[in-house]
A = this chain, B = another copy of it.
């Protein structure tokens, strides 16, 4: 497996494969890889001739009070994992390579980036769109793989592709969960043992929401949101950031249930902010 730190070299490598008629699958990551990321890599292997992965903790998608410096980094372990999966090449750029002195461009997402997580993370999705646009131009993949756990991110990236006319298919892969239901996330490493148990409340709340909608056929979203918030608040170390029921494509809030609907939640467990969602057809 090749590891590129230099953008131009990665670009040339990818270009050579493309010129030779090979299809390229791309998995952009911030590293600290877990089974969720690896499921994206495996799907890319099934769909493409070549699978490329980037590992870059992107500073422009972190707010000034967020966890950019604390964010888990384990590039040696990550490279080991990707190498075992026979990934063809990894892009591992330093900040100065991605954002050299004088860098000032940004991609602004608009309204879609201001809802849900955007409310407590202003500018976050502009940072995501900017770095993903850069990575897409470096790799020029046929397909890119993203996890449904970050639902709003998948919507923003699909919008980026559609509106910026990238010739790339975005493949959204299912949330991968621990046995206890906790969605895999690099930020789970922040949790103490007790917090890890408490964090299963996100999945428990989502399951309760699914039951209300699919089995009890409750249609009033305010009522569902209220019950989910009560479940979350029943955990001592949990604090609701948001519970929202939205249409699964544009993420606009719904008053009454219609398909496809997504229940999206963000919860602080101690100091760690976790997100999770389910989509119901």
Contacts and interface: CB of A to CB of B under 8 A. Distances in A.
Interface of A: 7, 11, 15, 19, 21, 103-112, 129, 133-135, 137-138, 140, 159-160, 163-167
Given A19-B21, A21-B19, A112-B104, A133 B11 contact: no
Contact of A165 (B7, B160, B163): B7
Copies in the complex: 2
B164 A133 contact: yes
B107 A165 contact: no
A151 to B, nearest CB: 18
Contacts of A7: 165
Nearest to A104: B110
Given A105-B110, A108-B106, A109-B105, A15 B163 contact: no
Nearest to A110: B104
Nearest 8 A-B pairs (CB), nearest first? A104-B110, A137-B165, A105-B163, A134-B165, A138-B165, A106-B108, A137-B166, A11-B167
- The winner among A7, A106, A134 for most chain B CB atoms within 10 A is A106
